Amino acid sequence: MKTYDAAVLGATGAVGQKFVQLLEDHPWFRLTEVVGSDRHAGEAYGDAVRWAEGSPLPDGIRDLPLRTDVDGLDAEVVFSALPGGKAGPVERALAARGHRVFTNARDLRMEPDVPLVIAEVNPDHLALVEAQGHAGDGFVVANGNCTAILLSLALKPLADRFGLEACHVVSMQALSGAGYPGVPGLDIVDNVLPFIPEEETKVVAEVPRFFGTIDRGRVTPAPIAVSATCTRVPVLEGHMLAVSAGLRATPSREEICEAFRSFRGEPQRLRLPSAPQTPVVLREEEDRPQPRRDRDAGGGMSVSVGRVRPDPLLGWSFVAAGSNTIRGAAGGSILNAELAAVRGFL
């Protein structure tokens, strides 16, 4: 596979740092440019960033000059961790100049010509980039909301095997999902916050789109009824989801567990560099999954499921947990870029 020069936008923020960390020694993408805020103009990345990752700042990135604008950006592939509300126009402009943009921002997720992709769930939606029609074949591919990604990946084996009609989810979302510095300590210590602005709306809108079908260059959302209650809990990393699913078929518990165990998607068949060997990990222990113990499954790219049991309202319930910053953010975008490379879009 060809090696592509890559840039990270919003490189000093929480998701931007995760991109930088995950791109270290990537076999296909070589990080050559980092873009941050104007107040750090002229500084080296290592001096400008308040590095918050557990692993050391990669030596090869430390001395990269921090760019403060995207004019004249050379990288073929761009990973965007720009803040919502500011990202859309920048990403569209870069695509128009021929860059391949993989964004974690919310701005363009629901645009009709922008594929909203989870590589194992709806890889064929990548074809929507052909409708963007930019010179030099530039385009934008969007990553989803972190909760919607983990939920949809956990639901995918059931949707494929038994048909999915409805789901209800209560999320217990980690502090890292709020970025850095995150939630004020006096709000979250000894507490659970029962509301995260716009989060439920995103989950309700994105899940049917992930499971939708492409018709004449547009996505028709799947007819799945989705209900969500999203909360913030005092956990550093890893979202946990309590899920109830309504299925068209009436499987047994063992059939559901087997669907989880055996599920593999396109990234596993292609052996993409960031793809976990087992994208959905079934835990049989009565007290698993847990964020602290299961968020690193598959290098942070797997979702773990457990407590599979009958549900008197929708049919079946289970608990899911996964990394919101890796699978639910930077890692998911990098996997989308790997899939795009293999499919010839880069």
Catalytic machinery residues? 146, 239
Give the separation between CA 8 and CA 192, rounded to whole angstroms: 33
> Cis bond leading into 123, ω under 30°?
no
Instruction: Count CA atoms within 13 Å of residue 133 on its CB side.
Output: 3
Q: What is the DSSP letter of 68?
A: S
* Helix H or strand E encompassing 203: helix 199-210
Paired tokens of 255: 């059939």
Strands 225-232 and 164-173 turn out to be parallel
Q: What is the DSSP letter of 295?
A: T
Residues forming beta bridges with residue 213, ordered by sequence position: 220
Give the separation between CA 79 and CA 20, rounded to whole angstroms: 10
Give the separation between CA 323 and CA 175, rounded to whole angstroms: 12
Give the separation between CA 112 and CA 231, rounded to whole angstroms: 29
Give the separation between CA 226 and CA 58, rounded to whole angstroms: 41
